[in-house]
Structure formats: C-alpha cells, structure tokens
Amino acid sequence: MTANNQSWIDRPTARWVAFSVFVAMLILLGVIHRDYLWTQPKNGTSAANTDYVLCLNERGSTIDQMIDEGVIDEKQATLFKTRADALCRTKFPP
C-alpha cells in the first residue's frame, strides 16, 4: 500500500491522538479518585469498634457451633458470616 491509500485512522497522527486521549483519561481517573488512592490512616493504625468486634465474635461463634452440629455446611456458613458482618457493621459502624 502506498501512503496515499492509507486510511486516516492508520496514520501516525491518529495514533498519537488516541494515545493522548488514553493518557488524558488516566490522568482524569487519577484526579477523580485521588482521595481514595492516596489517603493514609490518621494514626497509622485503624482502631476497630469494640462493640462491632464483640458482635461479630458472638455471631461467628454461633455459626461455628451450627457447623459443628451439622446444621449447616461450609457454603451456608460463609453466607451467614457475610450477613453477620453486614448486620454488625449496621449496628456498630467502625
């Protein structure tokens, strides 16, 4: 093919424009999510809410007891534990 028969999208200028748009979108995403990407804990450690931990431990032990008794299987236990976590986070936000 000669240069005259090339489509405009196959030319180097079009590729540079596409690359520039890609880089601009990466920069835009970085600016939009900068708080999420570069925030650090204030104290260096995150202190967990003790009521939340107690709630989760209580519900987790109940679920473990149901597994030991054969009432539920591992798949159900995983589901119950995620629901217990959601309940405890609702009651006692960290």
H helical segments located in 1-94 = 12-32, 34-38, 50-69, 74-91
Give mean pLDDT, residues 60-83: 92
pTM for the full model? 0.48
Q: How many other CB atoms sit within 10 Å of the CB of residue 63?
A: 20
- Identify the pLDDT of residue 41: 57
- Identify the pLDDT of residue 25: 97
Residue 5 pLDDT > 60: yes
Going by pLDDT thresholds of 50, 70 and 90, the confidence category of residue 92 is confident
pLDDT tens-digit map of 16-54: 999 999 999 999 999 998 887 777 656 544 556 888 899
Question: In whole angstroms, how far apart are CA 39 and each of 33, 42, 46?
Answer: 10, 9, 13
